[in-house]
Each structure stands twice: as structure tokens, then as C-alpha cells.
Amino acid sequence: MHYIKKEFEEAIKNIDNNEALKQLKAQFLGKKGRVTELFKRISDLGNEQKKEFGKNINQLKSYIENAIKEKQTQINEFVKRKSLEEESIDITLPSRVSNFGAIHPITKTIIEIEDIFKSMGFDVETGYEIEYDKYNFELLNIPKEHPARDMQDTFYINDNVVLRTHTSPTQVRVMQKKNPPVMFISPGKVYRRDSDITHSPMFHQIEGLLIDKDIHFSDLKGVLSEFLRMFFGDVPVRFRPSYFPFTEPSAEVDIGCIICKGKGCRVCSHTGYLEVLGCGMVHPNVLRNVNYPKDYNGFAFGLGVERFAMLKYGIDNIKLFFENDVRFLKQFSF
């Protein structure tokens, strides 16, 4: 009997799963099990021995039963612990990288310019991308057949309708709607038949208009110089006489070349200066066309957003803005 106990102890030691434990139980306590076989031998014994033998078998039986129960608990706990470990979240794992969208560099530049003018008290207005010839040209003092029309290669939809070539028609639209004083900028898309590394058939402009009493060229100079310094940093600013049909006098504004710091390079055509915007005092004909009272006057300006973005971020090809190459656009996600 002793050897059966030993045998059992040896066997149970190595058992680590329910299936094997079940087999072990059958092997010792099942119908043909080792312990059950012992009971069968009782009938061969004398009365005295029977008692003693029976007692021993019962002890062995309950010893084995308890050991199996205990093993069962151990196995259950082990299985539970293992599944908890496997299912638990590993907080040391690096997270999956999310791809965040970013604002397009053109939009970013528009927002930045808007913020500067808003801080000076300008409103923001919008116009129409498909415009009447009348608004794009005539009311801005550019009659049909006027040579100034050649300055802007136009997409005509029909004789009277164009894709606007500049944001200037918004000046007329707003002045027809609102009495003076007015003070706003107006960003938007414009279209010209033009395409090379600095020109795209669709690009963005920001128009500006300020109409009030007693506005002088010095106001124009002050506002634009301050704006350019806020956008580009501390750069030299110069005003050059120019011509636009809707302003008189007109000027073009240059900043000291931010690439070569005025020494002269390929970008500034060795002049040390970069042209960045057009401006002037609003032509009396334009004010008359919108029936503004005679004691009001003001200034206007227009700038190309792509040019501002290219200069500020050192981009040498305008196409990069419209190809939507994520590797390029990602560089502006700050």
C-alpha cells in the first residue's frame, strides 16, 4: 500500500493541467484504479486484518482525493493568473503614431496676414471668384480696350463674365454695400493665364481698402510699413512710383531682400530689393463710380499670398503649394 502512495506522489508532482489530473484520478480512484483494486482484495483477508486493511485503504483514498483537490485548485489559479497576464494592457508599449492634419502654408500665411490687419482694426470681407467684367475692370477705371487690360491675362467665360484676375473688384462690391468710412482686407483666389515657377493660373491675393476723411499718402506708408515689418521682421521698406488705373498716385512697395540681406542675389535680380505689393491713393473715378461723398478718400493695396509665403519660408517653386505632396506640407505643421 505504501508503494501505491509513493507512486501517486511521484506522478502528481509533474502534473500541470486538468486533463492529466483527470487521467491520474482515473488511474488511482477510477473503477479499475489502483486504490479500487485494493478494496477488492479485502474479501481475501481474515476479520482482524480486514479492519486494519480497510482503514488503511480509506486513509489512502482520502489522502489521494485531497491531494487531487489541492492540485486542482493550484491548476485553476495558475490558469487564471496566466490569462490575466496575457489579457492585461502593457502600458509600456509605444502608442500607435497618429497622423495629424496641418494647415496649408497658403492658409497659414493668409491667417497670419489677417491677424496683423485685424490688430490694426481692419475687417475681413469676401468677394466673388467669378465676376462681371464691369466689377473686375470697368468700375475700377479700366474701360474696355484700355491698354491696362493687357497687364492681366484674363480667363473670359463670356464677353461680360471673367474669372477675377485680382481681388480689387471686392473694393467696389463692399463700397456699394457700405457707407464710408470702410476699412477692410479681402483674401481670395484669383486667376490668370500664366504659368511658370513663380506664376500659377490660380493664386491668392489679399486686397486692402481704407476710406475715411483726410487720408494721406503718409497713412498708407505708415500702415504698410508697419505691416511688412510685423510680417517679415525688421527689413528696409521702400515705395517706388508706379501705375495702376484704380489708384493715383500709385506705388509699388519693395522690402530689402531677405535672402541676401540687400547685397544682391539671384532672387532679387541683384537689386537688393524684392517687390512685394502694389498700392496707391484710391482714384477719384473709383469713388465716383460707387457714389461716395466727395469729402471721403483713402488708399488701397493688393498683395500676392504665394509670393509672401515663398519669401518668408524660402520656397523657390510655386507649384509646391498645389501638388499636395505631404512631405512638403508636413514641414508647415508647426
3-state secondary structure of 26: helix
- Helix %, strand %, coil % for the chain, to 5? 45, 20, 35
Cell of 122: 481692419
**Cα distance between residue 113 and residue 117, in whole Å:** 6
Strand order in the sheet with 273-282: 123-124, 182-191, 202-212, 297-304, 273-282, 247-256, 237-244
**Cα distance between residue 1 and residue 315, in whole Å:** 94
Taking CB under 6 A as the binding criterion, the range among 68-76, 78-86, 119-127, 295-303 that sits at the site for ligand DAH is: 295-303
302 binds ligand DAH (CB under 6 A): yes
172 binds ligand DAH (CB under 6 A): no
300 binds ligand DAH (CB under 6 A): yes
Least distance between ligand DAH and beta carbon 328 (Å): 26
**Cα distance between residue 227 and residue 232, in whole Å:** 9
Least distance between ligand DAH and beta carbon 232 (Å): 19
Taking CB under 6 A as the binding criterion, the range among 21-29, 47-55, 100-108, 275-283 that sits at the site for ligand DAH is: 275-283
Axis crossing angle, helix 305-313 with helix 105-119, rounded to the nearest 10? 100
168 binds ligand DAH (CB under 6 A): yes
Q: Which residue number, 166 or 204, has a Cβ lying nearer to ligand DAH? A: 166
Taking CB under 6 A as the binding criterion, the range among 29-37, 89-97, 257-265, 296-304 that sits at the site for ligand DAH is: 296-304
CB 236 within 8 A of CB 295: no
Q: Which residue number, 71 or 166, has a Cβ lying nearer to ligand DAH? A: 166
Backbone angle region of 261, left / alpha / beta, with phi > 0 → left and psi within -120 to 50 → alpha: left
191 binds ligand DAH (CB under 6 A): no
Binding ligand DAH (rule: CB under 6 A), the pick from 109, 247, 289, 297 is: 247
279 binds ligand DAH (CB under 6 A): yes
256 binds ligand DAH (CB under 6 A): no
170 binds ligand DAH (CB under 6 A): no
Taking CB under 6 A as the binding criterion, the range among 28-36, 110-118, 128-136, 297-305 that sits at the site for ligand DAH is: 297-305
Binders of ligand DAH in range 90-149 (CB under 6 A): none
Binding ligand DAH (rule: CB under 6 A), the pick from 33, 187, 256, 280 is: 280
Least distance between ligand DAH and beta carbon 317 (Å): 21
Taking CB under 6 A as the binding criterion, the range among 37-45, 103-111, 255-263, 299-307 that sits at the site for ligand DAH is: 299-307
CA 122 to each of CA 39, 156, 164, 262: distance values in angstroms, whole numbers, following the listed order: 106, 32, 23, 31
3-state secondary structure of 255: strand
Least distance between ligand DAH and beta carbon 316 (Å): 22
3-state secondary structure of 138: helix
- Residue 252 CA, chain-centre distance (Å), reads 35
- Site of interaction with ligand DAH (CB under 6 A): 166, 168, 207, 244, 247, 278-280, 300-302
